[in-house]
């Protein structure tokens, strides 16, 4: 076993043991923190597919996170307000069922990623960064101006949505559900990177002209990666909204895009568990530093600066002492 896989096992063990301890010690707030970390990790696992594997520096992933959030908010709002979403061609009242909400979140964010990808992947480098950031802002302002769903104030959902056979109001059950999804996403991501697609995408990142010269289509590979990436981040957005029972334009903000990217970088770009490590550390910092100082973002900024300038490879990279195994 490499040091990286030992580290991965430790991370997973923490995600099981800490909440288990919290249940025994009756520390529901710890469970909420852990849920937050797991959901943010899922969002970052999504971004890592585009960023780590595809080399696409997207500063607009809040679009998908927000769309997932609003998919939850809108579907649940209609049930809550007893206002059908539409009555034609059939009566649809919205939904309070997590599987239906998740599916919607995935489809909507995948579709958005397809359209944004078709536009922004025509460019590369700095253009791509600026364009994804700009489209993120477009969704942000759109959500503010769209008063039917709360506008600037967002939407509150009073009761957490349901999942067949579980009591999602119980923090630990909801946590378990989120963790299960994260684990599934990690398994899929690990398979993805070793699959034909993963190898081809990886080659297109490192050397696009080589990829073309062996008959691969870098544009299509990147677009597909962007869509997969957006779909996963969208699912995370739906869960995040369900955790807070609230969605607002803040989920679309550029700060959100930046935060998701920070998670990936803190953990280590292109590392399978990098986003998970990054999310855990981020939530801990937020909690610990946020408790010490109102201005904890200064420390976060200094830490991020130090990681970028001096610690290549993030936490997983520093602790496993090995270059990123992108393949």
2: left (phi over 0), alpha (psi -120 to 50) or beta: beta
Binder of another protein out of 45, 251, 262, 276 (CB under 8 A): 262
N residues, the chain: 327
Query: Which residues 5-64 are close enough to bind another protein by CB under 8 A?
Result: 51, 57, 59
Using CB under 8 A as the binding rule, whether residue 322 contacts another protein is answered as no
Q: 114 CB contacts (<8 Å, ≥6 apart)?
A: 223, 226, 227
Q: 229 CB contacts (<8 Å, ≥6 apart)?
A: 46, 47, 48, 49, 50, 51, 54, 56, 58, 61, 64, 113
Q: What is the CA radius of gyration of the chain?
A: 19
Contact 251, 69 (CB under 8 A): yes
Give min distance, CB of 214 to another protein, in A.
3
Choose among 217, 192, 248, 199: nearest CA to 45: 192
Nearest CB to another protein, comparing residues 164 and 209: 209
Q: What are phi and psi of 189, to 5 degrees?
A: -65, -35
Nearest CB to another protein, comparing residues 99 and 301: 301
Nearest CB to another protein, comparing residues 17 and 305: 305
Question: Quick check: helix, strand or coil at residue 156?
Answer: strand
Contact 139, 256 (CB under 8 A): no
Which region among 17-25, 71-79, 96-104, 290-298 touches another protein (by CB under 8 A)?
290-298
Nearest CB to another protein, comparing residues 55 and 94: 55
Using CB under 8 A as the binding rule, whether residue 146 contacts another protein is answered as yes
Query: Which residues 228-257 are close enough to bind another protein by CB under 8 A?
Result: 228, 254
Give min distance, CB of 256 to another protein, in A.
12
Nearest CB to another protein, comparing residues 34 and 264: 264
Query: How many of the other CB atoms lie within 10 Å of CB of 25?
Result: 9
Q: Measure Cα distances from 178 to 114, 171, 173, 241, 245 in Å.
A: 26, 11, 9, 12, 15
Which region among 73-81, 98-106, 230-238, 258-266 touches another protein (by CB under 8 A)?
258-266
Question: How do beta strands 155-156 and 246-247 pair?
Answer: antiparallel
CA 182 to chain centroid = 10
**Count of residues near another protein by CB under 8 A:** 73
Nearest CB to another protein, comparing residues 109 and 143: 143
Give min distance, CB of 249 to another protein, in A.
11
Give min distance, CB of 40 to another protein, in A.
17
Binder of another protein out of 11, 84, 162, 197 (CB under 8 A): 197
Contact 155, 144 (CB under 8 A): no
Contact 71, 65 (CB under 8 A): no
Using CB under 8 A as the binding rule, whether residue 261 contacts another protein is answered as yes
Using CB under 8 A as the binding rule, whether residue 216 contacts another protein is answered as yes
Nearest CB to another protein, comparing residues 53 and 98: 53
Using CB under 8 A as the binding rule, whether residue 288 contacts another protein is answered as no
Using CB under 8 A as the binding rule, whether residue 319 contacts another protein is answered as no
Give min distance, CB of 303 to another protein, in A.
8
Nearest CB to another protein, comparing residues 14 and 130: 130
Binder of another protein out of 37, 79, 112, 221 (CB under 8 A): 221
Using CB under 8 A as the binding rule, whether residue 114 contacts another protein is answered as no
């Amino acid at each position: 076993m490499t040091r990286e896989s030992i580290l991965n096992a430790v991370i997973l063990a923490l995600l099981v043991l800490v909440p288990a301890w919290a249940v025994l010690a009756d520390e529901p707030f710890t469970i909420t923190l852990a849920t937050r970390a797991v959901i943010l990790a899922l969002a970052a696992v999504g971004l890592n597919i585009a960023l780590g594997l595809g080399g696409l520096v997207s500063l607009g992933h809040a679009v998908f996170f927000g769309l997932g959030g609003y998919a939850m908010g809108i579907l649940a709002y209609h049930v809550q307000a007893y206002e059908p979403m539409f009555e034609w061609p059939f009566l649809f009242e919205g939904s309070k069922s997590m599987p239906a909400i998740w599916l919607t979140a995935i489809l909507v964010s995948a579709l958005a990623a397809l359209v944004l990808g078709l536009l922004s992947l025509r460019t590369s480098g700095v253009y791509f960064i600026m364009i994804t950031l700009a489209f993120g802002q477009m969704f942000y302002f759109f959500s503010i101006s769209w008063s039917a769903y709360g506008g600037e104030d967002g939407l509150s959902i009073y009761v957490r949505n349901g999942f067949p056979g579980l009591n999602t109001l119980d923090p630990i059950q909801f946590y378990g559900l989120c963790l299960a999804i994260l684990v599934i996403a990690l398994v899929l991501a690990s398979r993805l990177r070793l699959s034909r697609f993963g190898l081809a995408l990886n080659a297109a990142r490192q050397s696009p002209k080589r990829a073309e010269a062996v008959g691969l289509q870098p544009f299509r590979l990147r677009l597909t990666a962007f869509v997969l990436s957006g779909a996963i981040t969208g699912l995370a957005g739906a869960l995040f909204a369900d955790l807070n029972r609230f969605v607002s334009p803040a989920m679309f903000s550029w700060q959100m895009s930046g935060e998701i990217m920070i998670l990936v970088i803190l953990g280590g770009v292109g590392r399978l568990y990098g986003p998970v490590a990054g999310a855990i550390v981020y939530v801990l910092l937020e909690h610990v530093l946020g408790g010490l100082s109102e201005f904890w973002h200064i420390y976060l900024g200094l830490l991020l600066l130090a990681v970028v300038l001096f610690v290549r490879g993030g936490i997983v990279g520093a602790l496993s002492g090995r270059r990123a195994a992108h393949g």
